[in-house]
Amino acid sequence: MAKAMTKAGIAEYLAEKSHLTKKAATQILDDLAALAYKESKNGFKLPGLGMLVLKNRKARMGRNPQTGEAIKIPAKRVVKFRIAKAAKDAILGKK
């Protein structure tokens, strides 16, 4: 299995494609991540890739897998990433 691209690898690729320095490409990646964190409350969309959304989970009953004892899982907020249809089709191929 091939290794996942690292931040440095992505920055190097972006620098070559857009004729920027690696430092500038790395700064763009950092700024994009910071913007995504800040705007995720409202939903942050990367066109063609997907969207970060904030969801509220309800409280529910669960089980301790070791003992089988029923436990109450409290309500909480979670961050999810919804994959765009274009990304799914490009990666998996059209059906």
| Longest Cα separation, the chain | 59
Q: Is the pLDDT of residue 1 over 70?
A: no
Angle of CA points 53, 55, 58, to nearest 5°: 170
Task: Dump pLDDT digits (tens) for 16-37.
Answer: 999 999 999 999 999 999 999 9
Whether the Cβ atoms of residue 45 and residue 51 lie closer than 8 Å to each other: yes
The two three-digit tokens of residue 61, written as one number: 């009953």
Question: Domain spans of the chain?
Answer: 1-39, 41-95
Q: Which CATH architecture has domain 41-95?
A: Irregular (4.10)
Task: Tell which wins on pLDDT, 72 or 42.
Answer: 72
Query: Which DSSP category does 51 fall into?
Result: E
Task: Dump pLDDT digits (tens) for 54-76.
Answer: 999 999 999 999 999 999 999 99
Cα of 25 vs its chain's centroid, Å:
19
